[in-house]
Amino acid sequence: MGIGAATFRELAELGARIATPGAPVMLGRQRCRLKHPHRRHYRRALERAGHEAVSLKTIFDTSGYAEKPLEFLGFGKVETMDFSDYEGAQHLADLSKPLDPKYRGRFDFVLDGGTLEHVFDIPQAFRNIFDMLAPGGTFVSVNGFTGWPGHGFYQLQPDLVWGFWKHMAHCDVVRCIALPNDPDVAPFDLPDNKGSAARREYDKVVPKGRVSIYYEIRKTADSRLAGDVLQADYETKWQNAQDEETDA
C-alpha cells in the first residue's frame, strides 16, 4: 500500500506526539513518494508537526522508500522486516508463522503500512506483532477498510482491531479511524462497539473510493494475550440471551 499523503499526515502528528522510539521496525519496505498533486498536504502536515521551514526535497529521496521520511518525522533509524529480501529488508520473517524468539520485545515502534492485508494468517501476525513490541511500545497499522478489491487477501474491520488489541491483548487503542486515500476527505472515528447489540455499519457514511483503517496501539506493562476475539454485537446478543435464560 505504501505511505500516501493521508497516512503521512497521521504519522507526522504521531511523530511529534510520542517519544523517539529506540528500536523501530517497518513491516514490508513501504514506499513513500512525494506526489505533486498533494504537495500542499505534505507541507501542511509538516507545519502542524512543527517543521515549518523544512524543504520537501530534504525529506524524500530518490529511492522512493519510507525510511528517510520516517526518520525525519522522529521515528529514528527504521529497520525493515519482510517475507523476502527482494527489496532489501534487514529482517526476514513469515508473519503467518510464530516469530523467532529473538524478536520478542525487541522493538519500541512497529509500523504496518499495508502489509497485514497480504498475510494469510492475520491472527498469528497480530500475535507476532504483540510479541515483538516492547512494553510501552507503539504499533501503527494502515490497511484496506473498503474500496480495495483485489489488492490483498483482506479488508479489515474495526471489530477486529478492538476485539484483538483491546479485549484480547489488553493494549490501549489510542486511535482507530477510517482514513480516506484522498487527503482532501476528512477521516472519521471507528469506535469500540463492545456492549452494544446493534451492529455498527458504515455504508452510509464512508466516502467513495479507497478508504483505509488506521489505528494506533500502545502496549502496556499489563498487556497480555488472554481471552477471545468476538464480534461485539453477537457477543452482546449471546450474553443477553444467556441472562434471560438465567432469569427465567
Tell me the per-residue pLDDT of 121-151, one tens digit each, with 9 for 90 and over.
Answer: 999 999 999 999 999 999 999 999 999 999 9
> Domain locations in the chain?
5-247
Question: What band does 54 get if pLDDT is binned at 50, 70 and 90?
Answer: confident
Tens-place pLDDT, residues 218-228? 999 999 999 89
- Residue 135 CA: distances (Å) to CA of 106, 143, 173, 220, 221: 10, 24, 14, 5, 5
Tens-place pLDDT, residues 64-82? 999 999 999 999 999 999 9
> The cell 510501552 sits on which residue?
136
C-beta separation of 64 from 33 below 8 A = yes
Tens-place pLDDT, residues 1-19? 789 999 999 999 999 998 7
Question: Helix 39-48 to helix 5-17 angle, to the nearest 10 degrees?
Answer: 10
Kindly tell me the sign of the dihedral angle through the C-alpha atoms of 24, 29, 30, 35.
positive
Residue 248 has pLDDT above 80, yes or no: no
Any alpha helices (H) in 133-223, and if so which ranges? 158-161
The pLDDT value given to residue 80? 97
CA end-to-end distance (rounded Å), the chain: 53
Q: Which of 228, 227, 240, 226 is nearest to 195 (CA)?
A: 240
* Range 28-38 average pLDDT: 89
Question: What band does 111 get if pLDDT is binned at 50, 70 and 90?
Answer: very high
The pLDDT value given to residue 75? 95
d(CA 182, CA 176): 18
Question: What band does 44 get if pLDDT is binned at 50, 70 and 90?
Answer: very high
Residue 156 has pLDDT above 90, yes or no: yes
Q: Which of 82, 217, 40 is nearest to 8 (CA)?
A: 40
Residue 34 has pLDDT above 90, yes or no: no
> Of 139 and 51, which is predicted with more confidence?
139
C-beta separation of 147 from 230 below 8 A = no
Assign domain 5-247 to a CATH class.
alpha beta
Kindly tell me the sign of the dihedral angle through the C-alpha atoms of 13, 15, 19, 23.
positive
Residue 196 has pLDDT above 80, yes or no: yes
| Rounded percentage of the chain residues whose pLDDT exceeds 90 | 87
> Of 104 and 61, which is predicted with more confidence?
104
Q: Which of 114, 112, 25 is nearest to 77 (CA)?
A: 25
